[in-house]
Structure 1
Amino acid sequence: MEDLLRSLTPGVLGALVRRYGSLDACEDAVQEALIAAALQWPEQGIPDNPSAWLITVGTRRLIDARRSEAARHQREAVVAALTPTDELLSPAPGEQRAEDDDTLTLLLLCCHPDLTPSSQMALTLRAVGGLTTEQIARAFLVSEATMGQRISRAKQRLKTTGATFTMPPNLHERLRIVLHVLYLIFNEGYTATSGPELQRASLTAEAIRLTRELHRLLPADGEVAGLLALMLLTEARRPARTGPDGMLIPLGEQDRSLWNRAQIDEGRELISRTLAEAVLGPYQLQAAIAAVHDEAERAEDTDWPQILVLYQLLDQAWPNPVVRLNQAIALAMVRGPQAGLDLLATLDADERMANGHRLHAVRAHLLEMAGELDAAYDAYEGAGRRATSLPERRYLEARAQRLPRGRTGQ
């Protein structure tokens, strides 16, 4: 039920915003419709057309709210009450949209150029990705209250600028931020920042669907194709990422026969064609790295020297601490764990990395490779304390517990 409602939310919100215009009011109405569905559907059954049901209930909530306003708004509510639900699901006369995809149009609205990049991403993750304010705050490393204010200001800014729910004439103007938002949504679905589940398949599926739509609209754009390839090549491993008990299984220990070969083949074909035709960008480089991993039949067959070169190129094109973190792993696999540890040391002064668990987890892994077992134990323990995802915390704690103490260098 939760996954169904989450998957329906962006389309329902898009349909209401297209008809009524106010993102803030429509989001409130959709939230009330979702609550009504969560209460009624378990007893009454899921309706034949759940989207239409949610739109109808959301419309009624908007009408109720507008009845308390001026007479002009009351007349609009009467008109809205007489509007058939199927009309809300269809475009207005003369309106053109890609495949009538309200979710994509909503995504582009949230990435309005009058918003700051951080507000664009936060608002899109909330309205289109369906993430909670707490989850978005974790992704941006800020407090929940700060993120709530940011999202509220973004909605108000859209209202004051008179932004309309239409497909912008030039998609390229908003493409960079749209791609980054889709990237963040996919990452949150593939490895949840918090909670009891490692993965949220509905988010990765929605990110892939929207990226496919962008690729259909912009088939010659290398970064759109690169992002789609990256998502497919990464999502292909999802069936092997957890055991029956939900425990995280790292890439090197996964049963590769469980990987989705159709997604791998599609992703490889996409990135091979794109690298030959388009200007190289960060998403294409990440997709190329993912393709090298997926091409290896066994973990020990992985072409780490090629991956290291690709990470060095990525670090030049898109320098950030996460890229450097992954580059350290590749460096360790090629030149030994100490080389990787030396590179990790350059990230110690970065508060974003020092306060999170990933830097400590990678350091623990490299220390274990180097035979520094006591230090590895401490690093795994420190990473586990910082992890906000329960499966990741359990994995890190288990890695620590399997190490014997007092045997460094043996």
Structure 2
Amino acid sequence: MNKTIKRVIGGTTVLLSTLILSACGPASSSNEQEVVLNYSIWDAIQEPGMKAIATAFEEENPGIKVKVEVTPWEQYWTKMEAAASGKSLPDVFWMHSNEISKYADNDILMDLTDTVDNSGLLEMDAFPEELVELYQSDDRYYGIPKDVDTIGLWYNKTMFDDAGIAYPDETWDWDKLLETAEALTDKEAGVYGFAAPLNRQEGYHNFIYQNDGYVLSDDKTTSGFESDKTVEAVQWYVDLSLKHHVSPTQKKFSENSSLSYFQSGRVAMAYFGTWMTAELANNEYTAEHADVTVLPKGEKQATIFNGLANSVSGTTKHPEEAKKFVEFLGSKEAQEIQAENGSALPAYTDAADKFVEHFNQFNMQAYVDMLDYAVIKPYSKETVRWENEENQAIMPVFNGEQTVKEAAPRIVKNVKQVLEMEKR
């Protein structure tokens, strides 16, 4: 009896062991812990497009999930600085030209050079060369271009039609802009022909380059406000509101933005970057009444261009997965998904058509065409600091308290001090 029981027990033991072993095999692979990557962005309008890219990546990379997190621009960099100090940055996140030097030069970002060099997905030649260089430090890659933007002249078609004025096009120059703005300004009705707020990228920096001036010297040692060409261009821009009265004053812009004026039919023309397209398309008024074209020229054609990049935290707990995701973000497939969703004009040149097609109610080709003569947004290691200095010194000009020529020495002095500190 005992022998029979032992055989049964033994047989049962063997059977159970076999079942356990066979169960453990697939269980260990199906229950492997899933890697979750945090992907941080600042634009809620682009969230659907970024999620679409994440979904495509997840389908091609089982076992990796991407969580898209939106933090508004106003809090984004404060949050990033705190996270960097605590070594708790998101695995992958949007990087801006104003901030890249600070993060890349302090070992906060992962060096992506090997990823780029060994990638079968990335084609760095497909991106604008200056944009690629923008996110490099000492010839090492710390960001993969995400998108590119230029500045366009938006105009109210209905206001032009009612006034019997032809729509603006590539033949326009500054004189034509002023002439038309004067014709479309109705002071009694509180309607202005053009919006000229204190804004660099969507405002007077474009006029500086169109007048053959500059914002920073090529060697990044001094401000362009020591140039007569720069001073002349900015004064022309300021005079649109203070002398010609075809634009709201800076005081009025402190109460209502240029976008608010444009979307309420109180401004006939305004400059907006590519990144504003979705907002203009989603607004019922501008969707019906607005369109866009290239910027008017001064001595030459010019527009500021910039672009974001995707970077990886140097302290991510999932370095291989994060590198794989950032590589995918820069691929043609992901760039096309971004364009098809209308998130942004892709940095990948050959994917631009899909963005143009997405917003076919507007002349989006104008943004693409301007890349032929676009000037990279001025930057240095301490871009935010010298921009703030320029902004503070030029404020009295926009308030009508000084001319640009009177404010220029202070701008040159303060910007130069910041640039000198960078080189220490």
Normalised TM-score (structure 1) = 0.21
- Structure richer in strand, relative to its length: 2
- Structure richer in helix, relative to its length: 1
Larger Rg computed on CA atoms: 2
